[in-house]
Structure 1
Amino acid sequence: MINFADLEKKLKKNEIDNCYVFCGSDEKLIKHHVKFITDKVLKSDFVDLNYSKFDGNKADFETIIEACETMPFMSDKKVVVVYRASFLDDSGTNKSSGDLKGENFQLLNEYLSNPSPHCVLIVYYVFSSDREKPSNKIKKLEKKACVIKVDKLRGEVLQKKCRDLFEAAGSKIGKAELTLFCNQVDNNMDIVINEIEKLISYAEGRDITKDDIFDMMPQKSENDIFNLVDYLSQKNIKRALDILNELIYKGEKIPLILFMMGRQFNLLFNIKLGIESGKSKEILANELKLHPYICEKMISQSMKFTLKALKRNIELCVDTEKTLKSTSTDNKINIEVFMIKTVM
């Protein structure tokens, strides 16, 4: 099993395999890798004639094999992509389709014993979470196919990808600003692309500054606070406490966590008050100095609370802050009690 850097080296040496199997939790990043191979194998003039795509959750593998064995048109190779190939997980039978998952894996395994020499088959499976590991089925294919585990982009690899995206959009960002951006953004390609588009629109053609990044991008801890408060709005105290524990594990201090929660409840109170008085999203975003995208998300969250509940939660924040400052009791217990009170 290799990573994308190893794959890139192989392709630069024109070492093309008959089959590639990708697995990972970031589908956007997997798609980028699939396109990288496709662009290497096919000439742009004949892509439409020599490129086929199948839904791995629906297509039977006999149809896919037939496409693989069809001769390419005006090209040495053709590319067949099977996306979201759930038959590569270890769950076995799919109740909605009989034993189709097991059959498809068996047919893939048999096909790879004698693959079509003029076809590059690309199969990918998206993990259901970041914690999922490559299945036993995927491991079994390593001797017959090039298996690539797509990990989240980090460090210099993430910076290079982000720089390429900024440059492709005709935008300029300095080295220090790029480093700051990469440190702040969640390394999920959907989020990365969305945040880059927001920054470019905000900068309106000028070089992107550090202030732009701080103004436009939600801090990672702020994302956690948003989710924590969202779980409180659903009265799901268990998931809210899980996020609290993650924040503490990351090194966030409990007084700061409480401050951020209080700030969130204050914003939600002002947003709900504004909505009920007839203010538009644009006016609220301007008054509260929020990006319209963030403001829209917070409007949706504010709808899950009453004004009375938000006012009470703000008061609970103030009381808990006083307790943290004036007593020697366990801060973690105090903030947990506060969170439980907000859902009562």
Structure 2
Amino acid sequence: MVDIVTFNKNLKNGHIENCYLFCGSDEFLIKENIKTLIGKVIKPDFIDLNYVKFDGSSLEDFNTVINACETLPFMSDKKVVLVYRASFMVEGDYKNKLSGEFKNIHSYLKNVPEHCVLIFYCLFKSKRDKPGKRIYSLDKDICVVKADKIRGYQLENKVQEFFHSRGKDIKKVDLRVFCNLMDGNNLSIIENEVEKLCCYTYGRDIKREDMQKMFLSNNEEDIFDVVNAISNKNLKEAVHLLNELIYGGIKINYILTMIERQFNILFKIKLLLEGGKQKVEIMKTLNIRSEYGYNIMVQQSKKFTLKQLKRSIQLCLNTERNMKSLSIDERTELELLIINTIA
């Protein structure tokens, strides 16, 4: 099993396997790397002729995938067959009709034709899920890529690519500040924020003040207010502030990510304070740059017990899982989160 970094190194060195399985909780990250892989295998002019994809969640017969793999490429050395959202690769999804055929599917993957690159990807329901027995058994015969969240310099390099693709340069120091403000590490959300920042600074260079104005004042302080209303058990105010954020065009997934992030920070602050740590040390440990923001969070943390904060974080994770796995109204789910957190 390889990680995203190793996978990309192998691609740069021209090492391409006949069969891949990508697994992880960030679909955007998986899709981006599959797109890069396809670009290495097929020339752009021949992609329409040599690229076939299937929806794994509705696929009823694996023979259609086999037939696509066995068919020779047209005017190209290779073809790509993609089976996306292949939940049958993970044990426990008994609703999928192909789940019972796993052994036969596994057997075929050992003999994928040389002219074909067969790619699967399956999504974990939450960040805490790990590869199971099926994925580990596949790892012996095909290339399994675990698409974990990228962090540190890897994240900074990826975010810098987002800026460069939009014709924007950003200083390394400012890039690091931006990545810190984007804590949560969801690439689809981060790219949306890059787009907003590039539009905001159209025709000029990006300044640190722009980031603070857009992402600290507008978003983080609004989340401060929502969490503050929750800590005061003011349900009406919390729901009102939530609706204001939604009406303001902030995506529900982003709001949830920020609320979860806020509770995580409050938990860590309270833990460090109870451990006798001082202000300067806490700010350095948690990479909090704003003294004003730190003071607000200290006051908020005092309104919760550690047990309440742990419960709030778990409720956020449960809400995130429900949004990904159920056909529900996301706004209602977020309102239920606030109600349950206050209860």
TM-score bracket for this pair, using the shorter chain length: 0.5 to 0.7
Where does residue 245 of structure 2 map in the other structure? none
AA aligned to 2:40 is K
Structure-1-length-normalised TM-score: 0.68
SS of the equivalent of 2:52 reads strand
CA distance in 1 between counterparts of 2:50 and 2:114 reads 14
CA distance in 2 between counterparts of 1:88 and 1:223 reads 38
Where does residue 316 of structure 2 map in the other structure? none
AA aligned to 1:187 is N
Contact 2:266 2:298 in 1 (8 A): no
Q: 1:119 to 1:230 in 2, by over 3 A?
A: farther
Asked if 1:4 is matched to 2:1, the reply is no
Identity %: 42
Following superposition, the deviation at residue 108 of structure 1 comes to: 2.2
Contact 2:86 2:122 in 1 (8 A): yes
Following superposition, the deviation at residue 149 of structure 1 comes to: 0.4
Q: 1:228 to 1:190 in 2, by over 3 A?
A: farther
CA distance in 2 between counterparts of 1:179 and 1:115 reads 43
Note the alpha carbon deviations across 1:106-157, whole angstroms, 9 max, x for none: 3320211211111001100111111010121111101111011011111111
Following superposition, the deviation at residue 199 of structure 1 comes to: 0.2
Note the alpha carbon deviations across 1:287-339, whole angstroms, 9 max, x for none: xxxxxxxxxxxxx89xx7xxxxxxxxxxxxxxxxxxxxxxxxxxxxxxxxxx8
AA aligned to 2:265 is L
AA aligned to 1:146 is C
Where does residue 86 of structure 1 map in the other structure? 87
Structure-2-length-normalised TM-score: 0.68
Where does residue 176 of structure 1 map in the other structure? 173
SS of the equivalent of 2:204 reads coil
**Could you tell me which of 195, 200, 203 is aligned with 1:202?**
200
Q: 1:45 to 1:142 in 2, by over 3 A?
A: same
Where does residue 36 of structure 1 map in the other structure? 36
Where does residue 270 of structure 1 map in the other structure? none
Q: 1:70 to 1:181 in 2, by over 3 A?
A: same
Contact 1:24 1:127 in 2 (8 A): yes
Where does residue 291 of structure 1 map in the other structure? none
Note the alpha carbon deviations across 1:239-294, whole angstroms, 9 max, x for none: 9x998863333226797237669xxxxxxxxxxxxxxxxxxxxxxxxxxxxxxxxx
Following superposition, the deviation at residue 161 of structure 1 comes to: 0.7
Where does residue 45 of structure 2 map in the other structure? 45
Q: Which runs of 4+ in 1 moved over 3 A?
A: 218-236, 241-248, 252-255, 257-261
Contact 1:222 1:260 in 2 (8 A): no
Where does residue 251 of structure 1 map in the other structure? 269
Aligned CA RMSD, in angstroms, stands at 3.3
CA distance in 2 between counterparts of 1:180 and 1:13 reads 32
Q: Count how many residue pairs are aligned between Structure 1 and Structure 2.
A: 261
Following superposition, the deviation at residue 58 of structure 1 comes to: 0.8
CA distance in 2 between counterparts of 1:22 and 1:243 reads 27
Unpaired runs of at least 5, structure 1: 262-299, 305-338
**Alignment map for 1:1-344 (pairs within 5 Å):** 1-59=1-59, 60-94=61-95, 97=96, 99-103=97-101, 105-185=102-182, 186-218=184-216, 223=223, 226=226, 233=235, 246-251=264-269, 256-257=296-297
SS of the equivalent of 1:124 reads strand
AA aligned to 2:296 is L
Q: 1:69 to 1:226 in 2, by over 3 A?
A: farther
Contact 1:172 1:206 in 2 (8 A): no
CA distance in 2 between counterparts of 1:23 and 1:220 reads 31
Note the alpha carbon deviations across 1:161-203, whole angstroms, 9 max, x for none: 1111101101121111101001111310111111000100111
Following superposition, the deviation at residue 42 of structure 1 comes to: 0.6
Note the alpha carbon deviations across 1:212-265, whole angstroms, 9 max, x for none: 1111125668657647857964999xx9x998863333226797237669xxxx
CA distance in 1 between counterparts of 2:56 and 2:209 reads 44
Contact 1:61 1:107 in 2 (8 A): no
SS of the equivalent of 2:80 reads strand
Q: 1:225 to 1:76 in 2, by over 3 A?
A: farther
AA aligned to 2:264 is E
The structure whose Rg is larger is 1
Contact 2:87 2:93 in 1 (8 A): no
CA distance in 1 between counterparts of 2:228 and 2:83 reads 37
Following superposition, the deviation at residue 207 of structure 1 comes to: 1.0
Q: 1:135 to 1:225 in 2, by over 3 A?
A: farther
SS of the equivalent of 1:201 reads helix
AA aligned to 2:106 is N
AA aligned to 1:102 is G
SS of the equivalent of 2:269 reads coil
